[in-house]
């Protein structure tokens, strides 16, 4: 029997604003957040051989193997209250993962999944990513400013994420076009897809998502 919880998957090119929307929706519906990127970056801090290898992969912009992505979010999913809704950010990344995730969610009684696509062009995604920065102190995001600019929240140093070099950005955008687009088509055929334009303000995107989910 399915539990009446709000279970969401968020897809979109890197730089589409998924992280902002994720935070808003997790708070709105009190969801358990499973952000693959965050979970993988956290794993690199464990200091074991797998963590060292993972950090090398992330810095090169190469794709993390599916089994590793499944490991980090299944580790969290295993301890999540079955009555609490889920929010998957960054998975599934290819059709094989989508099919397995469909089975996992059905087994847990969470087949009532909605998939939100925050849609922006490849060109817009590259422009946003090449200018993206993150504060080394508070971790909040920002965009490139004049040399020596500081975080507007805490005045910490703004740094570039290790995966935001030009080559690494293009690798991720190529991957999206080749592998994630079939995932989007899969969920569109199933009737689970909610497509919203990412070329709006974060507030406008959020309101469009809420309207679609309602």
**Residue 195 annotated as lining a ligand binding site:** no
**Residue 18 annotated as lining a ligand binding site:** yes
**Residue 36 annotated as lining a ligand binding site:** yes
**Residue 200 annotated as lining a ligand binding site:** yes
**Residue 16 annotated as lining a ligand binding site:** yes
**Residue 20 annotated as lining a ligand binding site:** yes
**Residue 17 annotated as lining a ligand binding site:** yes
**Residue 15 annotated as lining a ligand binding site:** yes
**Residue 46 annotated as lining a ligand binding site:** no
Angstrom distance (rounded) from CA 12 to CA 160:
21
**Residue 41 annotated as lining a ligand binding site:** yes
Q: Which residues are annotated as a binding site for AMP?
A: 36, 41, 62-64, 161, 172
Q: Which residues are annotated as a binding site?
A: 15-20, 36, 41, 62-64, 132, 161, 172, 200
Q: Which residues are annotated as a binding site for ATP?
A: 15-20, 132, 200
């Amino acid at each position: 029997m399915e539990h009446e919880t709000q279970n969401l998957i968020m897809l979109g090119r890197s730089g589409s604003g998924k992280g902002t929307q994720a935070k808003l929706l997790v708070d709105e519906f009190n969801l358990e957040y499973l952000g693959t990127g965050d979970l993988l970056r956290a794993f690199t801090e464990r200091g074991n051989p797998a963590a060292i290898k993972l950090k090398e992969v992330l810095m090169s912009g190469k794709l993390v193997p599916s089994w590793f992505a499944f490991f980090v979010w299944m580790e969290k999913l295993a301890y999540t209250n079955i009555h609490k809704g889920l929010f998957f950010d960054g998975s599934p990344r290819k059709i094989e993962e989508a099919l397995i995730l469909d089975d996992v969610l059905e087994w847990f009684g969470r087949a009532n999944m909605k998939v939100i696509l925050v849609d922006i062009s490849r060109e817009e995604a590259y422009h946003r990513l090449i200018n993206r920065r993150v504060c080394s102190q508070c971790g909040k995001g920002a965009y490139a400013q004049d040399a020596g600019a500081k975080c507007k929240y805490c005045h910490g140093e703004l740094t570039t994420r290790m995966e935001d070099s030009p080559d690494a950005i293009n690798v991720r955008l190529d991957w999206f076009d080749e592998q994630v687009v079939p995932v989007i088509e899969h969920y569109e055929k199933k009737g689970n897809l909610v497509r919203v334009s990412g070329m709006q303000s974060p507030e406008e995107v959020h309101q469009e998502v809420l309207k679609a989910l309602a």
